[in-house]
Amino acid sequence: MSRAPYQSPLAGPGIMLLSAAIFGYFGFSTSWNYHSVMTGDFLLFVALLDWTLKGSAIAFGASALLTLANRVLGNLIYGVVGLIGAVLFVVIAGMDYADTKHRALPPLLLLIFAAWNGYSSFAGLRMVLSGRRDHGSLEPPPQGNEHL
C-alpha cells in the first residue's frame, strides 16, 4: 500500500513571496506624498501606510527564505508580521477616515485588507502554535517501513 505524500498545513515560500510581491508593489512602486499639497502638513497615516507596506514586504520575503531552512519559524514570523500589518491597517483606516481633507486609500478598502490579512495570519499562527503544543513539531512524520 503506498502512502500519500505528506502535506504540511503551513504556508510555503510561494505564498509568502506572493504576499511580499503584492505589498512590495504598492509600497515601493507607489509614490506616496507624505505632505498635504494644500497646507504642507505632514500626513502621518500616509507615511505609516507606506512603511507598513514596505516593512511587511521585506519581512514576508525574509520569511519565505527562512521557511526554506525552518518551516515553523518562517511561518511564525509570517503570521506575526501579517497580524501586525492588519492591526496597522485598521489604525491607518481610522486615521484616514478621521482626516476629512486627505485620503491615502479608501478606509473601507483598508479594513477589507485588514480583515483578510488578519484572519489568515491569525489562522496560520493558531495552526503553528497548536501544532507545536500538540506534537512538538509540524514537520512531516518519519517515513518507516509499513507492514500490512
Q: Which domain holds residue 92?
A: 13-133
Task: Look at residue 145 and tell me if it is in a domain.
Answer: no
- Across the range 47-57, mean pLDDT stands at 96
Is the per-residue pLDDT at 144 higher than 60?
no
Lowest mean pLDDT among 5-14, 20-29, 82-91: 5-14
Is the per-residue pLDDT at 135 higher than 60?
no
61, 20 contact by CB (below 8 A): yes
pLDDT at 66: 95
> What is the residue-averaged pLDDT of the chain?
84
Identify the three-state secondary structure at position 42. Answer: strand
Confidence of residue 5 (pLDDT cuts 50, 70, 90): very low
Which is more confident, 127 or 25? 25
pLDDT at 13: 85
Task: Look at residue 139 and tell me if it is in a domain.
Answer: no
Helices (H), the chain: 13-28, 44-69, 71-98, 107-135
Task: Look at residue 18 and tell me if it is in a domain.
Answer: yes
Task: Look at residue 7 and tell me if it is in a domain.
Answer: no
Task: Look at residue 3 and tell me if it is in a domain.
Answer: no
Query: Structural domain tally of the chain?
Result: 1
Share above pLDDT 90 across residues of the chain, in percent, rounded to a whole number: 54
Task: Look at residue 27 and tell me if it is in a domain.
Answer: yes
Task: Look at residue 4 and tell me if it is in a domain.
Answer: no
Here the cell at position 33 is: 506624498
Task: Look at residue 47 and tell me if it is in a domain.
Answer: yes
Confidence of residue 4 (pLDDT cuts 50, 70, 90): very low
pLDDT at 61: 96
Residue tagged 496597522 (cell numbers): 88
- Per residue in 103-131, pLDDT (tens digit) is 888 899 999 999 998 998 998 888 888 87
